[in-house]
Structure 1
């Protein structure tokens, strides 16, 4: 009798403690959501076997409906963790081999892979974002042309240039939404049914995720789901869900409770109802990269099978974030401690600090904070070879490769017993040596960067971004070209405006007539682009075609001006301005920036 009373009291006090903890957590989340001007969020946390769920804020800012724990949300790229789990399930069943080349399954789609003979793109490469293909194109992301049933093959057959492999498959991480869309197509080829149907029945069903689906649902019109929270942008602007071309990479609606079930499974031994559902060895590899150059050179961080290694806030875990039109989500696991959390916001804000919520959960879950790796007294003996400028290789988006070269390159220099990393877009940070060729960012627990060589080329990598040393003269010339081009535009614009005012612009002897008109022409698409939804940025629209025409006209106008210069045989300020712009447009053509075709 006494034992029963003691047990009852312990359960009662335990429940009171959990309730108090939830209230405290919810209060902190409410304050953070209010301070960041977010519409609402649903969340769940797991601590051992205790699951806590909650909902805060509004489901729809227009109707002032309150968000409920049973309401569904979109989770963007966290979908990739579920797609990867579905692939691991098929591998466990023996229906596919993770190390099988993709061409053996998708024989009608051919990668442009210079290393195909020895390094074909494999399913593992797609899972790990190491296939070497770019992330996506504008038309694949920002488009209203997609439907919920657009064949996945269309992503790769419309423009075969998306199949270009830029680095040796398996060696370097480069995030790719196209890669996970390939995995959706692979599931369809193996199962002979839409990947949404197959995974709903054969993944979500057995895991008990009855209120989740890979199917397209929306808040209005066809496929309506009245439990789906409305998406929002800043200032409470609403956005209903729309179909996407890259749907395996980000189309998934779920609840906080279902994500808690998924979390518990990922931290289990891989069994469902006492039977192996996913091979334990495969399950444990999620978030533990083993194939990249950086791993083989000693760095343990990176991405594998739908999760990335994450070292932040003094804790180490496995992680995936996601965002899609109107939503942001975070998924964080600490398997060794059997703790985790998930949160999805129905606001896609450009100004909010979403990292704040991670800190709140980590503090409330009392995640263990391991000691930092000790700093070594000396830098590697060959560290001078690694000083200098570096460019990203590969970059995520081909269209922005030129801008990445100029603005995302970094400078590495020695400073006493550490390395200083500088760039234009990022804050300067310090790397301290922790042994061999490994370094730790000052706010990290474990090694965060590795130095190594690929042949004779010095490399620095954090497991997710790889930088190759670049010739300083080359980078300086690229910057000089940009600066001269911008100076040229200013000269031609000012001189042309003056001549127009003086009514001399259209005199036969003027060098800058066409150059000036082409520069002014760059302003023409602006009002049309401003009046066009960002969702149409990748579509073949009047505004986008106009943008391609005016940017494509720029080098032609400079050539006309250069012909005038050659005929006049006089190097005036107008001539210099024209030549400055001409050399820059040649560079932009080489890098594929102009003509600027967003639908390409």
Structure 2
């Protein structure tokens, strides 16, 4: 009987193995399908993105792509091991360093900041009887004034070293903006103060404390602050739009690594896509991380505005997301890091293109949508809002290598042309020329002074130059003897405006007509007003001729 019973048993085993094999094939097909969809989404952004993209699940990399150039001077291509400045993603590393020190008994999260920085005036660290604590700084709820608001700090930040002692001295003179713990206000100052706390309690540099406690245990050999020769050669050079050109940030501002190291704990870390993937092990597999599970839980518990300690925490359940982005806009770097601990997914997007264009952010959102099996909603090209934000007021920008696109008509040019069209031969200046023209240049001058850097002048030089040329041309033509008739003068002025519009806007997408109309609304309005004046003058002339004869 035993041998007869073995037959159905063997059959069941065979069936089970077949089912398992089919499930394995199905899972493999699903993984391949996901890889293909992720890869296709990256391809959509390929012409508009310089950087490295990595998507992984657990210990497996699903997609790793290097796109565009790492150095615009020589056209060197980005590679998977290219290094990037990661900006504010550095903050979560600062937060974890503080938590490790708390586990070592060297820092208490509920302790007053004044305990660690005794020279900081206590009255500058309290409001309504509430003192700033370490946890307030981690949550961005301290009320400490943002570094960018300190007089002269923003203009000096990228042109000369800002020493910690000077920073603390200037910051300590400012009262808190609100009662600690009552509001959320993102602050680089807070994380710079945390870096100083790390230095004080360890007796070492922030980078040394970060490396010994986190980077080395996690095997992150391509992450740090100071660059040796080998890593410097692999660091991408950031590119950012300035006026009408793509310029190399490092050359324009003559920046040094010293300047960035002074920002250390708020955003000066460099890293690679693979190293950031290694970093996410803290959240994906807390038991194997150099930090207790309870500390990770505290870090990823959202406070005000969904902000934990150096990370944003959104959603719940299987699709709970821990993420942050970073940017060093004057250097042209941007970064995106998203982690889904329950699913094991990680999305890393590192770029040496300007952050305000939002390309990396849109790519990250689309890749997350693919992971969720949702339709990607973000377009590769930046919208009008990002375009205007990137430039500020007017001019040209290169969205794609060799492809200039109009953002918005230089306002000065529009008004100068309108003023020139209204001039009469040998007449006194009109009220428009007396008021708006000087005001345009006054605004230009104030912009340069307020910014405190040559950047404003470079941004405006294209607009100002076009304005002067347009005014001279239109004014010269309008005052020629052969252009004495009102009709010819106005037609000439309008023609110049239209030609300039076509010349500058000809490279716009054919499908971007609505954007063109919005961007040139100032020109359309000015031309409409000019035509109205022209029509009114000719109507009056016709009426006068019919009344008194020619």
Question: Which bracket does the TM-score occupy, shorter chain normalised?
Answer: 0.5 to 0.7
Aligned mate of 2:135, from 124, 127, 134:
124
Shift of 1:208: 0.9
Aligned mate of 2:41, from 28, 32, 41:
28
Aligned to 1:264: 281
Distance in 1 between the 2:17 and 2:275 partners? 33
Distance in 1 between the 2:352 and 2:17 partners? 45
The 5-angstrom pairing of residues 95-494 of structure 1 reads 95-110=106-121, 112-113=123-124, 115=126, 118-137=129-148, 139-143=152-156, 150-158=162-170, 160-161=172-173, 163-215=174-226, 225-234=232-241, 236-240=246-250, 242=256, 243-244=259-260, 245-272=262-289, 277-290=290-303, 301-310=305-314, 316-324=320-328, 325-366=331-372
Deviations 1:203-240 (A, max 9, x none): 111111111113267xxxx9970101111124643223
Shift of 1:353: 4.5
Query: Judging changes above 3 Å, is the alpha-carbon distance between structure 1 residues 111 and 309 closer, same or farther for their aligned structure 2 residues?
Result: farther
The structure whose residues are more often helix, as a share, is 2
Shift of 1:46: 2.8
SS at match of 1:153: helix
The 5-angstrom pairing of residues 528-539 of structure 1 reads 537-538=451-452
SS at match of 2:42: helix
The question of whether the paired residues in 2 share the 8 Å contact of 1:141 and 1:246 is answered with: no
Aligned length: 378
Establish whether residue 526 from structure 1 lines up as the match of residue 444 from structure 2: yes
RMSD, matched Cα: 4.3
Distance in 2 between the 1:76 and 1:351 partners? 16
Distance in 1 between the 2:226 and 2:18 partners? 49
The question of whether the paired residues in 2 share the 8 Å contact of 1:288 and 1:308 is answered with: no
Shift of 1:187: 0.4
Distance in 2 between the 1:542 and 1:46 partners? 41
Deviations 1:340-385 (A, max 9, x none): 211111101544454431332113323799xxxxxxxxxxxxxxxx
Distance in 2 between the 1:538 and 1:83 partners? 30
User: What's the TM-score, normalizing by structure 2?
Assistant: 0.59
The structure whose residues are more often strand, as a share, is 1
Aligned to 1:437: none
Distance in 2 between the 1:502 and 1:41 partners? 56
SS at match of 2:280: helix
The question of whether the paired residues in 2 share the 8 Å contact of 1:47 and 1:365 is answered with: no
User: What's the TM-score, normalizing by structure 1?
Assistant: 0.54
Higher radius of gyration, 1 or 2? 2
SS at match of 2:300: coil
Deviations 1:405-424 (A, max 9, x none): xxxxxxxxxxxxxxxxxxxx
Aligned to 1:63: 74
Query: Judging changes above 3 Å, is the alpha-carbon distance between structure 1 residues 315 and 224 closer, same or farther for their aligned structure 2 residues?
Result: closer
